Chains A and B, each alone.
Chain A
Amino acid sequence: DAGVIQSPRHEVTEMGQEVTLRCKPISGHDYLFWYRQTMMRGLELLIYFNNNVPIDDSGMPEDRFSAKMPNASFSTLKIQPSEPRDSAVYFCASSPSVEGAVYGYTFGSGTRLTVV
């Protein structure tokens, strides 16, 4: 198993540009999570999906952020327009569920986003 695959690994963009981060979860995992990591705020949950349906997006900081999961093997996190304060490492994680319980998230290697 290749694990959770995120792309790109690094992204540098100018303020005001659109940024799209991509994630391929582990096959068979029915939960997908997007997290953001910064030194100041640590790991923050942005949004998560269950069976491709967004369940809770209360962690999305602003309307500039949006996420989609068009199928079980692909999700995107989009920032439009991007701002310098969006600079962070963005992680995607997936998890299987057993009888409704979630077990053992697997994280991708992250996308380091720098907005200049």
Chain B
Amino acid sequence: QQQVKQSPQSLIVQKGGISIINCAYENTAFDYFPWYQQFPGKGPALLIAIRPDVSEKKEGRFTISFNKSAKQFSLHIMDSQPGDSATYFCAAERGSGGGADGLTFGKGTHLIIQP
């Protein structure tokens, strides 16, 4: 599987601030880029996803920015809240065209929102 590189490994943000997590990928065949949120003792849960035909997708306080030429995408969490404290994973997949490869995940970012 091609690698997906995620940064930072850990992040501390004050309540109300903006949390930004970045990912870069190598395989240009990837066409589906989701972000997952994981709480301790739980499985990853789909947060938001984007396909490369758009440069930005927003759902509530969560926004994905996508730069196809740079092969990078990022998650922005606006007005960060203590309940957002979790581990966030970016992922990528060649999800269309008659087949699936399975998600390739970044290593995760441990986000702490300080009250």
Contacts and interface: CB of A to CB of B under 8 A. Distances in A.
A43 B44 contact: yes
Contact of B102 (A45, A99, A106): A45
Interface in B58-111: 89, 93, 95-108
Interface residues of B, number: 27
B28 interface: no
Contact of A45 (B32, B49, B104): B104
Interface in B30-53: 32, 34, 36, 41-46, 49
A107 B100 CA distance: 17
Contacts of B102: 33, 45, 48, 56, 59
Interface of A is mostly: strand
B43 A91 contact: yes
Given A48-B100, A102-B93, A102-B95, A42 B107 contact: yes
Interface residues of A, number: 27
A107 B37 CA distance: 11
Interface of B: 1, 32, 34, 36, 41-46, 49, 89, 93, 95-108
Interface of A: 4, 31, 33, 42-43, 45, 48, 50, 55-56, 59, 91, 93, 95, 97, 99-110
